[in-house]
Amino acid sequence: MIDSVGQIVYNKRESDFKEEKRGDFLLNDQLKTTLFSLAHTIAAHYGKSCEVAVHDLTDDNAAEHSIIYIENGEVTGRAVGDGASAVVLEQLRGDTGAQDRIGYFTKTSDGKILKSSTTYIRDDSGRVIAIFSINHDITALSVASSALSELVNPNENADNDPQKITPHVGELLDELLWQSTQLIGKPVALMNKDDKIRAIRWLNSKGALLITKSGDKIAKHFGISKFTLYSYIDLKQEENNND
């Protein structure tokens, strides 16, 4: 059903789900079939330039392999078993306040401009159990639109920095590291301790530490030990507990 804010809510029955080790639930076959059918219909309607993916957030390996169904994966270079996107990591970090996003811009590693939509599939407790995403390659349309805009408004210069979609979690981590550096506004070599703490806490909030072996890469990026890396994170948690 559709709730009051337009989000899809799946009313679970006890027989529909099985408990996992981490206390979550598995998507049942009925819901999977429905989501897969919707994905196929949308992809067939819009053609090869429209990728539609279903992410399963109930699996223990969701941070590494969240995609359980995808149509036209060549748009972003992803396939079944790949993952995770930034929105998936945010949900795995427990972001319960996320709202559906419709028609926002993203980009691929090879420069394609996409118009994307993200719908959060929730159980009746409000927990996100799956993500339904649409990524429509509008690169050619953007070129045409820019040409027309230049003719009609020659002095207009809109500069947007869309979110990047990466085909593999390794590239996603590289992108998050770059964003953390942009957040601080200076290269790592010029960062002091407080700068590094701020950047690392931001990475943790985005779920970067959920990626396998990310601690080694993040520590190396900031020129610190893994012990120091996790001490910065623990320090933040202690501050929150004291508050």
Give the mean pLDDT of the chain: 81
Instruction: Identify the pLDDT of residue 223.
Output: 93
Rounded to whole angstroms, the Cα distance separating 147 from 163 reads 23
- Classify 82 as helix, strand or coil: coil
Q: By the 8 A CB rule, do 224 and 188 touch?
A: no
Least confident of 13-22, 92-101, 159-168: 13-22
Q: How do residues 203-226 score in pLDDT, each as one tens digit?
A: 999 999 898 889 999 999 999 999
Q: How do residues 133-166 score in pLDDT, each as one tens digit?
A: 999 999 988 888 777 777 776 554 545 566 677 7
CATH among 3.30.1360, 3.30.450, 3.40.50, 2.60.40 for 9-142: 3.30.450
Place 21 in a pLDDT band, splitting at 50, 70 and 90: very low
Q: Residue 19: how many CB atoms within 10 A of its CB?
A: 9
Alpha-carbon separation of residue 56 from 90, 111, 182 (angstroms): 14, 27, 31
- Paired sense of beta strands 9-10 and 128-137, if any: unpaired
Instruction: Identify the pLDDT of residue 28.
Output: 86
Q: How do residues 167-183 score in pLDDT, each as one tens digit?
A: 777 788 889 999 999 99
- What are the φ/ψ torsions at residue 236 (nearest 5 degrees)? -65, -40
Cβ contacts of 28-35, under 8 Å, gap ≥ 24: 31/121, 31/130, 32/68, 32/69, 35/69, 35/121, 35/130, 35/132
Angle at 99 between CA 95 and CA 100, to 5 degrees: 125
List every span in the chain annotated with CATH 3.30.450.
9-142
Q: How do residues 45-95 score in pLDDT, each as one tens digit?
A: 999 999 999 999 988 888 888 999 999 999 999 999 997 778 778 877 776
Mean per-residue pLDDT, 180-206: 91
In this predicted structure, the answer to whether residue 243 has a pLDDT above a threshold of 90 is no
Q: By the 8 A CB rule, do 49 and 75 touch?
A: yes
Mean per-residue pLDDT, 122-143: 90
State the residue for tokens 């945010």.
90
- What are the φ/ψ torsions at residue 130 (nearest 5 degrees)? -160, 160
